[in-house]
């Protein structure tokens, strides 16, 4: 696997995420989607879907980030593959798994990033939201004075009064919340995708100052 430094960062990311990607991310070589266009067309994949895969690859293809704190690290690297059709439209694999997990990382017909197991669990409204969430977890873990993990039924004990949802992660099944001196990440994707309520996880990063809470991102939640 050939690794390359990242020269062109995708736009639409916060400065915190851009710094994370440029500092800790690398690019790996991927097979161009365009080189397989005829192969996909022969298998009745619509040209518009192939165009969408090519656009995704141009923007994200080959991006390898440090492991995320959930989902066994997330995709090994981002790259489209395996288009599949159902009643909702065409789905595209967002990137291969790092380990043998019972679900796939997918981009939905409407552009959501999530995991497909027994059920579909949209984690973030866009792939940008996923990248932002990984960047935020890396930032928070480095600045928190204490990190607490809750699982299963214990997650329901969290009181989010006074917390504001963090917008840049564009959370759906998974969300991030900002309080006065803490950040809380709520991960419910595996619980939803695998019909396994005990799979819910919360990570509380506490003892944060203003920089720890925001990392230079001006967002009122």
Report domain extents, the chain.
Answer: 3-126, 132-214
Radius of gyration of the chain (CA): 18
- CA pair distance 148, 128, nearest whole angstrom: 26
Supply the pLDDT for residue 219. Answer: 62
For 60-87, write each residue's pLDDT tens digit: 999 999 999 999 999 999 999 999 999 9
Please report, rounded to a whole number, the percentage of residues in the chain having pLDDT higher than 90: 92
Supply the pLDDT for residue 178. Answer: 98
Q: What's the Cα-to-Cα distance from 88 to each of 37, 56, 91, 111, 176, rounded to whole Å? A: 23, 19, 9, 12, 28
Supply the pLDDT for residue 15. Answer: 93
For 21-46, write each residue's pLDDT tens digit: 999 999 999 999 999 999 999 999 99
For 145-187, write each residue's pLDDT tens digit: 999 999 999 999 999 999 999 999 999 999 999 999 999 999 9
**Strands 175-178, 164-165: parallel, antiparallel or unpaired by DSSP?**
antiparallel
Question: What phi, psi does 124 have (nearest 5°)?
Answer: -140, 155
pLDDT at 7 over 90: no
Q: What are 83-86's contacts with CB under 8 Å, separation 24+?
A: 83/40, 83/45, 83/49, 83/50, 83/53
Query: Is residue 30 classed as helix, strand or coil in its secondary structure?
Result: coil
């Amino acid at each position: 696997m050939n690794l390359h430094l990242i020269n062109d960062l995708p736009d639409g990311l916060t400065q915190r995420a851009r710094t994370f990607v440029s500092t800790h991310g690398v690019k790996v070589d991927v097979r161009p989607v365009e080189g397989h266009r005829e192969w996909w067309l022969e298998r009745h994949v619509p040209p518009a879907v192939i165009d969408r895969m090519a656009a995704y690859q141009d923007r994200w293809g080959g991006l390898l980030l440090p492991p995320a704190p959930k989902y066994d690290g997330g995709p090994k690297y981002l790259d489209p593959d395996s288009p599949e059709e159902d009643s909702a439209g065409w789905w595209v694999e967002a990137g291969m798994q790092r380990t043998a997990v019972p679900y796939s990382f997918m981009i939905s017909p409407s552009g959501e990033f999530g995991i497909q197991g027994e059920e579909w669990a949209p984690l973030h409204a866009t792939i940008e939201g996923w990248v932002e969430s990984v960047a935020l977890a890396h930032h928070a873990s480095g600045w928190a004075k204490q990190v607490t993990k809750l699982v299963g039924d214990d997650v329901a004990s969290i009181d989010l009064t006074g917390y504001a949802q963090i917008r840049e992660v564009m959370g759906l099944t998974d969300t991030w919340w900002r309080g006065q001196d803490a950040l809380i990440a709520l991960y419910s994707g595996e619980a939803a995708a695998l019909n396994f309520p005990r799979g819910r996880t919360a990570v509380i990063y506490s003892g944060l100052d203003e920089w720890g809470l925001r990392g230079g991102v001006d967002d009122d939640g």
